[in-house]
Amino acid sequence: MEDRNQQEPGSSNAKAGSSVMCQLVSPEGDHLGAALYLPQNVGPPQLQEIVNHLLQNICVLAFYCSSYRAGRREDKLPYAFYIGDEELSVQLGAYMQQKNANVEVTLRIVYQPQAVFHIRPVNRCSATIAGHTEAVLAVSFSPDGRCLASGSGHKNWVLCIAWSPDGSHLVSGSKSGELILWDPKTGKQLGTPITGHRKWITAVSWEPVHLQAPSRRFVSASKDGDARIWDITTRKCVIALTGHTNSVTYVKWGGDGLIYTGSEDCLIKVWETSQGKLVKTLQGHGHWVNSLALSTEYILRTGSYDHTGKTYSLARYKKMRGNAPERLVSGSDDFTMFLWEPTISKQPKARMTGHQKLVNHVYFSPDGQWLASASFDKSVKLWNGITGKFVAAFRGHVADVYQISRLLLSGSKDSTLKVWDIRTHKLKQDLPGHADEVYAVDWSPDGEKVASGGKDRVLKLWMN
* Tens digits of pLDDT across the chain (464 residues): 334 334 444 444 434 457 899 999 987 778 998 999 999 999 999 998 899 888 874 433 222 222 223 333 334 677 889 898 788 989 999 999 999 888 888 999 998 876 544 455 677 788 888 888 888 888 889 988 889 888 886 567 888 999 999 899 999 999 999 999 999 999 999 999 999 999 999 999 999 998 988 889 999 999 999 999 999 999 999 999 999 999 999 999 999 999 999 999 999 999 999 999 999 999 999 999 999 999 999 889 887 666 555 555 677 788 777 778 999 999 999 999 999 999 999 999 999 999 999 999 998 988 888 888 988 888 888 888 888 989 888 876 655 555 455 557 777 777 788 887 777 777 888 888 888 888 888 888 877 888 888 888 888 888 87
Who contacts 57 (Cβ-Cβ below 8 Å, separation ≥6)? Answer: none
Give the gyration radius of the chain's Cα atoms.
24
* Pair (141, 104) in one structural domain: no
* Pair (393, 453) in one structural domain: yes
Give yes or no for a contact between 352 and 388, defined as CB atoms under 8 angstroms apart. Answer: yes
* Pair (246, 331) in one structural domain: yes
The C-alpha atoms of residue 443 and residue 421 are separated, in whole angstroms, by 15
Q: Which residue, 69, 88, 113, sits at the end of a domain?
A: 113
The C-alpha atoms of residue 213 and residue 231 are separated, in whole angstroms, by 13
The C-alpha atoms of residue 378 and residue 253 are separated, in whole angstroms, by 29
* Pair (170, 221) in one structural domain: yes
Could you give the angle at the alpha carbon of 139 between the alpha carbons of 134 and 140, nearest 5°?
155
* Pair (182, 70) in one structural domain: no
* Pair (129, 109) in one structural domain: no
Residue 275 belongs to domain with CATH number: 2.130.10.10
The 3-state DSSP class for residue 241 equals strand
Residue 417 counted as domain residue: yes
* Pair (104, 181) in one structural domain: no
Who contacts 144 (Cβ-Cβ below 8 Å, separation ≥6)? Answer: 167, 302, 305, 309, 445, 446
* Pair (370, 264) in one structural domain: yes
pTM of model > 0.75: yes
Residue 87 belongs to domain with CATH number: 3.10.20.90
Residue 96 counted as domain residue: yes
* Pair (412, 322) in one structural domain: yes
Domain that holds residue 182: 124-463
* Pair (211, 176) in one structural domain: yes
* Pair (186, 90) in one structural domain: no
* Pair (142, 169) in one structural domain: yes
The 3-state DSSP class for residue 225 equals coil
Residue 119 counted as domain residue: no
